[in-house]
Amino acid sequence: MLGLICGFVYFWGTLYWLVETMTTFGGLSWPLAVLAASLLVAYLALFPAAFAAILARTVRSLGNRGILLAPAFWVTTELGRQYVWDGFPWALLGYRQITVLPVAQVASIFGVYGLSALLALTSAAAAYAIVDRSRARWLPLAASGLVVAGVAVWGAARMSRNELASAGDPVRVAVLQGNIAQEDKWNPALRDSITDRYLSMTRAALGQGATFILWPESSTPFYFERDLLRGAAIRRLAAEAKATFLVGSDQIEPIKPVPGQPAPAETERYYNAAFLVKPDGSVGGVYRKMHLVPFGEYVPAKALLFFAGTIVEAVSDFSAGTEAVMLPVDGHVVSTAICYEVIYASLMRQFVTAGSELLTTITNDAWYGRSSAAYQHWDQAALRAIEGGRYLARAANTGISGFVDPYGRVLAKSNMFEQELLVHDLRFLKHRTIYSRIGDAVAWLSLALTAAVLLAAARVR
C-alpha cells in the first residue's frame, strides 16, 4: 500500500499535464480527463508497489540486510515499465542526474538504469543505517558515498579529456522551430503560410552555412509524398542548395489486396514518418516511427474506454514502423527518433549499433502546453547522447530544440513557444561507448537477481 501511494503521488506529480492534453486536444471534459489520467497513473503506480512488496518480502526473510538489495528490485520494476503492456519508461529515476554531468557519465557504461541503481543504492544505504542497530550499519552508507565520489571524479576526468569533441568529421546542422499552434497545423487556409515559414527558415539556415537541416515532427501541413506542388518545392530547395533535409511528415501507404483472399477492410496505412531529402532533391530514406504514443497515435483497449469516446474518435490509428532505418548524410549515416521514441534507450542504442554516427530526434511537444512535460522530454533525450557517445540534434515544433554533445553538455537550446532557428557545428562519430556494446545488462542482471532472491525467500518461507 505504501508503494502504491508513493507511485500514485510520484506519477501524478510527473504526468499532471495529461489532463490539459486530454481536455484541450482530446475534447474530454475535465472530470473525464482526470479519470482517464488517473487510470494511467494507477497502472504506473503498480510498479513502485511491486518494488515495495518485493523489498518487504525480502526483509522479512533476510532481515534488514535485505534493504541493500533495493537497487536491483527498483531497476527491475523500471525495466518492467519499458516492456510490460505497451511500455511507458517516462521519467525513470536515473534521468534526475542529467543536470549532474560528472555523475551522469555513468550512462556511457550502464545507461539510465545504471544511474537509477546508483541513486537507489545511496537511498538504500541511508535507510539501512536508520533502521538497523548493528555496529556495522554505517558501512554501506560509507561505501555508497565512496562509490558516488569515485563516479564523480571519474566522470569529471572523462569530461575534461573531451576526446570526442575533436574526433570524427564536422557537420553544420540546423534545427527549425516553427512554433505552429496545434489547432492551426491542419487548417487548409494556413497550409501555404506554414509551408512558406519553414521554407524561409530553411533558407536562413542555408545562409548560415548549414548543410543538414531538421524540420520537426509532422511539420508539413500536407502529405510530403502526395502534395506534388509543396513537396517539390522542398526537394527543389535541397537540390539548389546542395544540402540535406530531414522533414517530418505523415505517410500513407496503400494496402494491396492479396489474391485469393477477401479484400481488406482498410485500404491505406498511416505512418508518422521522417523523410531524408538528399542534396540532389531525391528521397534518400524514410524512417517510420516504431513506438507509437498511446491515446495520441492509437488507442489501446478501445472497447473498454467507452467513457473516452471523444479521444477514440479524435485519434487516427497509425501503424508502427518495423525497421530502424539508417539515413545517408554527406557520406555518413545518421538516425532519427520521432517524438517520445527517444525515451527508449534500447531503441537509440539499436541505432548506434546499426552504424548511426549522429543522433537526431524530431518532435511536436505542442500537445503538452506550457507544462513541464517538454522539459522532462528534453532531459530524457539529452541522456541518450551520453549513452551512445554521439552528438544529438533535436527539432521541436514549439520547443525545446537544440544540440547536446556526447558528454551531455547543452551546446544550444531554444525557448518554448517562440519561432527559432538554431545552427551549430557537430561531428559524425564512430566511437562506441561501453553501453552501446552491452546495452541494459545492469537491468537484466537486476531482474535475474530479483528472481533469485524471490525464489530463495519462497524456500525460506
Q: Tell me if residue 302 is catalytic.
A: no
Q: Which of 185, 289, 297, 387 is catalytic?
A: 289
Q: Which of 78, 185, 278, 339 is catalytic?
A: 339
Q: Tell me if residue 289 is catalytic.
A: yes
What is the spatial distance between Cα 299 and Cα 185, in angstroms, rounded to a whole number?
A: 22
Side-chain half-sphere exposure of 337, counting CA atoms within 13 A: 30
CA 421 to chain centre: 22
User: Cis omega (within 30 of 0) on the bond before 434?
Assistant: no
Alpha-carbon distances of 385 from 37, 74, 161, 246, 348, rounded to whole Å: 31, 24, 17, 19, 9
Say which DSSP state 27 is in. -
Q: Which of 20, 78, 217, 387 is catalytic?
A: 217
What is the spatial distance between Cα 373 and Cα 367, in angstroms, rounded to a whole number?
A: 9
What is the spatial distance between Cα 297 and Cα 319, in angstroms, rounded to a whole number?
A: 9
Q: Which residue has the cell 506519477?
A: 11
What is the spatial distance between Cα 411 and Cα 56, in angstroms, rounded to a whole number?
A: 45
Please work out, in degrees rounded to the nearest 5, the angle formed at the alpha carbon of residue 371 by the alpha carbons of 365 and 377.
50
Question: Please, which residues have CB within 8 angstroms of residue 112's CB and are 6 or more apart in sequence?
Answer: 92, 94, 95, 345, 383, 387
Helix (H) / strand (E) element for 335: namely strand 332-338
What is the spatial distance between Cα 283 and Cα 275, in angstroms, rounded to a whole number?
A: 7
**Sequence letter at residue 230:** R
Please work out, in degrees rounded to the nearest 5, the angle formed at the alpha carbon of residue 48 by the alpha carbons of 67 and 105.
75
The number of residues in the chain equals 461
Q: Tell me if residue 256 is catalytic.
A: no
What is the spatial distance between Cα 96 and Cα 99, in angstroms, rounded to a whole number?
A: 7
* Catalytic residue IDs: 217, 289, 339
